[in-house]
Amino acid sequence: MRFEQAGARRRVEAVPLARLSVELGHLYQADYAEGADRYRELFATVAPWFRAAAESERRGANAAPRVSTCYLVDDYLAAPGPPREVLPPLLRAAEEHGVAIDYLARESACAQLGDVSPAAIVAGSLVCEPTPGTNGTRPPPMVAGWLSNGQRSGPGEAAEAGQAMSPGAQWTPPRQNVPRRHSVFVDVELWDERDGVRTWSCAFLAGVWQLLRLGLLRDAGRPVAQPRPWRGAFPDTWAELPAVVQLGDRPAPFCAYRTLSVLPGGFLPVETAVRTILDQVAVDPAAARQVRDRAAGEGLALPGYPVDRLRYVFL
pLDDT digits (tens, 9 = 90+) for 108-142: 999 999 999 999 999 999 987 666 666 556 677 77
Q: Is 69 domain-assigned?
A: yes
- Structural domain including 244 reads 18-123+200-265+281-314
- Mean pLDDT of the 190-219 span: 96
Confidence tier at 60 by pLDDT (50, 70, 90): low
Q: Is 310 domain-assigned?
A: yes
Which range is least confidently modeled, 17-26, 85-94, 178-187? 178-187
Q: Is 44 domain-assigned?
A: yes
Beta bridge partners of 219: 222
Q: Is 304 domain-assigned?
A: yes
Q: Is 132 domain-assigned?
A: no
Distances (CA, A) of 285 to 68, 126, 224: 25, 14, 16
Q: Is 71 domain-assigned?
A: yes
Q: Is 177 domain-assigned?
A: no
pLDDT of 80 higher than 50: yes
- Mean pLDDT of the 21-28 span: 93
Q: Which three-class secondary structure string do you get for 145-165? A: CEEECEECCECCHHHHCCCCC
> What CA dihedral angle connects 146, 148, 152 and 156, to 10 degrees?
80
Q: Is 89 domain-assigned?
A: yes
pLDDT computed for residue 131 by the predictor: 63
Cα of first residue to Cα of last residue in the chain, in angstroms, is 61
- Count: domains in the chain: 1
